[in-house]
A and B are shown apart, each in its own frame.
Chain A
Amino acid sequence: MTDMSVGRQSAKTKPGAPRPRSQLADFAAQFAESRAAVIGLVVLAVMVLAAIFAPLIAPQDPYDLASLSILDARLPPGTESMNGYVFWLGTDGLGRDLFSAILYGLRISLAVGVMSAVFALIIGTSLGLTGAYFGRRLDAVIMRLVDLQMSFPPILVALILLAVLGRGVEKTMIALIVVQWAYYARTVRATALAERSKEYMDAARCLRLGHIQILTRHLLPNCLPPLMVVLTVQMAHAVTLEATLSFLGVGLPETQPSLGLLIANGFRYLINGTYWISIFPGIALLVVILSINLVGDQLRDMLNPRLNR
């Protein structure tokens, strides 16, 4: 039974594959066909590790105000501080080492982006699956909500929500989840509807398996490939959106300076040519988003030929 349902799409081997390999190895080999995607994955892994181990890597704790000296403020990249330490990426307006600030900012940005994407995945998938499985009224209501949600640009919905809710980590995450869940719901529903009509579903029903069992053991695994694609794309969107909202001053609070906030802080110094405070965090942000997109592009090509454009 499980064999019939799991990995229906990913199990398709390409013609001309030398010999049958394990699914995972096959998947990896196919992924590796795009060099850009592999580079993206490696860079992304490095960034994620750097974010996780930021407190160990960063030369300075940017939030330990006692260690900051206003005399170090706005030093250009490569300047040596009074105690002999070199600020490779310069310092910000408070005299913080920018490299350390970026590492910590990356940590916050990734945490918020990834967590909200995962929450949205869980909520959207549950709603989409339930709708597709039980159909009729519930499905209609959920899909109307999806349509309504998707007819407005995410930035707008998030902005309005935060305008009503106020700034904050949880509030920003709520806003990000609200603007993302519909994409998962729509994807899952489309796949689940196609799966539902297949024979093995009838078989599962004949075996009198419970609703929950059919949903999680049989429908869900088949929805995973397209969901993975949406998840990567949405993670990039979530990170960008959080950075944008924080830049506008409606997202994360000053106490949790994500990359967006770092860039915003540098904006006011930009006019007199102090470029590094804004530019370096921006480059870090760009590299994260670009590497996620490169991985996502390849995943989409592999797993979801219908979306391929």
Chain B
Amino acid sequence: MTALVVSRILQGLGVMLAMSLIVFVGVYAIGDPVEILINPDADQATRAEVTRSLGLDRPVWEQYGLFLFNALQGDLGRSFVFNMPAIELILERMPATLELAIAATLLAVLLGIPLGLVAGMKPASRTGRTIMAGSILGFSLPTFWVGLLLILVFSIWLGWLPSFGQGETVDVLGIPVSFLTADGLAHLILPALNLALFKLALLIRLTRAGVKEVMPQDYIRFARAKGLTGRRIIGLHVLKNILIPIVTVIGIEFGSVVAFAVVTESIFNWPGMGKLIIESIYMLDRPVIVAYLMVIVVLFVVINLVVDLLYSALDPRVRLKAMPA
């Protein structure tokens, strides 16, 4: 187990190194880093100062070393819109994005797996067909447009739910969260639903495919022959077998939920890092873009690591193979 963790962490570090190189090449070698990293309105003296501090007069490999060195210390430049370190700005917005992404993932799991189970158990029934038709629709609906529809229907026409911002927040361990207040929860529902939709469709399909694969197996028949209840067979024997691919996909897709939060946050004015990155693109606040990229890379590496560990925790065959004999 430890060997697995160490090897995965090393792999993650490798990916991060590769990405830092790509970012470096993209920002420093192709573009003019002075243009990218400082405010276009800055005067000549500031430019000279920045050029020196970035070591742009030194050889390229030395520049990369300096970039890495700075990055490792959390220095990815200053936002000239907010006039604060870019990395701090990103980290400040991250909890809101994570809250939204987790809420969306939970929603997708809590709705998608049961619906997929039903569709898989009774594929020919009307319910089963309706669920599958719904999932194809869910795949085809553009996320941003669904966001507008949700606002139109639930906020404007029905007036049930707010569609703007995070609502009232409370601090948990110094992090503001919405889901603990009634107002915040109301604000969370629409964006979370919007973000969940695509993953919901995916989970329905995945669960159904898994059920269809597992149900005809002999071990399910044997479980029935043992006199187990249908609930136990589906809830344990079927579910645990299909959970392995599902957990992997949920994990891998969590990263894409975070990425897609960009769209949802822009529509619902959710103050997360996705909305920040879009604003930064409009404002040409490039240090924030660089910082966002690096943070996302770290996030993805962490997510992949967690998925790998979960995977081996769920499947005894993988778990035991990873252990030295």
Contacts and interface: CB of A to CB of B under 8 A. Distances in A.
Chain A directly contacts chain B within the complex, with at least one CB pair under 8 Å:
yes
Which has the most chain B C-beta neighbours within 10 Å: A162, A236, A248, A249?
A248
B259 interface: yes
A155 B281 contact: no
Given A286-B142, A290-B137, A153 B156 contact: no
A294 interface: yes
B281 A250 contact: yes
B148 interface: yes
Interface in B188-208: 205-206
Interface stretch (A64-72, A85-93, A117-125, A272-280): A272-280
B113 interface: no
Given A151-B300, A244-B142, A282-B145, A163 B156 contact: no
A190 B60 CA distance: 38
Interface stretch (B48-56, B77-85, B91-99, B260-268): B260-268
A17 interface: no
Interface string B60-93: 0000000000000000000000000000000000
Interface string A174-191: 000000000000000000
A290 B136 contact: yes
A164 B31 contact: yes
A279 B259 contact: no
Q: Which of the four size classes fits the interface of chain B?
A: 35 or more
A273 B255 contact: no
Nearest to B256: A153
B148 A278 contact: yes
Interface in A137-189: 148, 151-153, 155-156, 159-160, 162-164
B282 A249 contact: yes
Interface in A281-296: 282, 285-286, 289-290, 293-294
Nearest to A273: B156
A250 B26 CA distance: 18
B259 A153 contact: yes
A148 to B, nearest CB: 7
Contact of B260 (A155, A163, A243, A289): A155
A293 B140 contact: yes
A74 to B, nearest CB: 15
A164 B30 CA distance: 10
Interface stretch (A96-104, A208-216, A263-271): A263-271
B110 to A, nearest CB: 22
A243 B136 contact: no
Nearest to A159: B262
Contact of B140 (A153, A159, A289): A289
B281 A163 contact: yes
Given A156-B296, A164-B26, A270-B151, A309 B205 contact: yes
A243 B146 CA distance: 13
Interface in B110-147: 136-137, 139-145
A209 to B, nearest CB: 38
Nearest to B212: A309
Contacts of A293: 136, 139-140
A159 B149 CA distance: 24
Interface residues of A, number: 38
A156 B263 CA distance: 10
A19 to B, nearest CB: 31
Contacts of B6: none
B278 A244 contact: no
A116 interface: no
Nearest to A285: B142
A279 to B, nearest CB: 7
A108 to B, nearest CB: 15
Given A290-B140, A294-B136, A159 B148 contact: no
A148 B282 CA distance: 27
A290 B148 CA distance: 18
Nearest to A290: B140
B277 interface: yes
Interface of A: 148, 151-153, 155-156, 159-160, 162-164, 236, 240, 243-244, 247-250, 260, 263, 266-267, 270-271, 273, 275, 278-279, 282, 285-286, 289-290, 293-294, 297, 309
Given A148-B15, A285-B142, A293-B139, 10 more contacts: A152-B300, A155-B260, A156-B262, A244-B144, A244-B263, A249-B282, A263-B144, A267-B267, A278-B152, A290-B136
Interface of B: 15, 18, 26-27, 31, 136-137, 139-145, 148-149, 151-152, 156-157, 205-206, 209, 255-256, 259-260, 262-263, 266-267, 277-278, 280-282, 286, 289, 293, 296, 300, 304
23 contacts: A151-B15, A152-B255, A152-B259, A152-B296, A155-B259, A159-B277, A163-B289, A164-B289, A243-B142, A243-B145, A248-B266, A263-B144, A263-B148, A267-B267, A273-B156, A278-B145, A286-B145, A289-B141, A290-B137, A293-B136, A293-B139, A309-B206, A309-B209
